[in-house]
Amino acid sequence: MSSDKPGLLGSMAKMKCPNCRKGHMFTNSSVFPLSQLLSMPDRCEVCGQKMELEIGFYYGTGYVSYAVSLAVFAFNFVWYYLIFGISYKDYSIFYYLITSVSIVVLLQPWIMRYSRVLYLYMFVKYGKGSTWKSEE
């Protein structure tokens, strides 16, 4: 017996609907232009899942993006420490901070998008979301 259920991590990486894992969460597949970075359809084109569960739903993504940014800082600390070493005596801590802040600023559009993906996946379970019948 084979299951045609799409994988969780692959669906999250591809920014697919959390309910059906087939529809696109964003109207534009690229983060550019930045003015359309967070443009989302009202509902999934495949299953009809609402993308904004309630008014102001995505204000909570600020906490998720903060956690992801901290994770990027921690990852940067590990690789920077292993390659260059960090010490307060030779100002390498400042070089690390400059490098980490630059990386987080460059990754910010993707961090904002994946924060929305992670946040919606926390509240909508596969196959258990709202279904919407088209009025044809």
Q: Give residue 135's pLDDT.
A: 40
| Per-residue pLDDT at 136 exceeds 80 | no
The answer as to whether 135 is a domain residue is no
- What pTM did the predictor assign? 0.82
pLDDT digit string (tens) for 48-91?
899 988 888 889 999 999 999 999 999 999 999 999 888 878 88
Range of the domain at 84: 8-123
45 close to 23: Cβ distance less than 8 angstroms: yes
Burial status of residue 91 (CB atoms within 10 A of its CB: 0-12, 13-18, 19 or more): exposed
State how far Cα 74 lies from the chain centre: 18
Residue type, 7: G
Residue 128 lies in a domain: no
Q: Identify whether 27 is part of a domain.
A: yes
* Number of domains observed in the structure of the chain: 1
Residue 74 corresponds to which tokens in the numbers above? 């921690």
Instruction: Decide if 131 is inside a domain.
Output: no
**Each residue's pLDDT tens digit, 91-115:** 888 999 999 999 999 999 999 999 9
pLDDT at 1: 45
- Within a domain: 38: yes
* Rounded Cα gap, residues 16 and 23, in angstroms: 5
* Residue 3 forms part of a structural domain: no
Compute CA distances 111 → 35, 36, 102, 115, whole Å: 15, 15, 14, 6
Asked, for residue 129, whether it belongs to a domain, the answer is: no
pLDDT value at position 87? Answer: 81
Return the SS3 of 43.
Answer: strand
First to last CA, the chain: 34
- Tens digit of pLDDT for each residue in 19-47? 999 999 999 988 889 899 999 999 999 99
